[in-house]
Amino acid sequence: MCLGIPGQVVAVADRVAVVDFWGVRKEVKLDVLEVAIVPGDYIINHCGYAIRRIDAADVADTLLNYEIVLSEAGEDPIAAEVVYELETAEEEILV
């Protein structure tokens, strides 16, 4: 099962946003969305693509639900993804 991760948009340039995920900033492609995204918006990221803008009225509940899921998981999936990406990038540099 895959889980999209919510994050807050920090900056937008063309069809790419810089998104903050609990202190980790990543670039996310906006190609899938048909709505305009601006800094301050919250999105759901899946595999590097924003798949949905979170309605402003739903942001607090969405973040709370994710905090519950993450705390019960026992492992921080965002941190695990960042470590994986860093290891993969390092392997590509060595090749």
Threshold 0.85, pTM exceeds? no
Report pLDDT digits (tens) over 40-88: 999 999 889 999 999 888 888 888 887 777 777 666 666 676 667 667 6
Domains in the chain, number:
1
What CATH number is associated with residue 81? 2.30.30.140
* pLDDT value at residue 76: 66
What residues pair up with 42 in beta bridges, in sequence order?
8, 54
pLDDT-based confidence at 29, cuts 50/70/90?
Answer: very high
Position 89 scores a pLDDT of: 58
- Determine the structural domain holding residue 72 and report its residue range: 5-94
pLDDT at residue 90, rounded to an integer:
54
**Which tokens is 15 given?**
């069809």
Question: Would you give the distance in Å from CA 62 to the centre of its chain?
Answer: 13
**Cα–Cα dist 4/24, whole Å:** 15
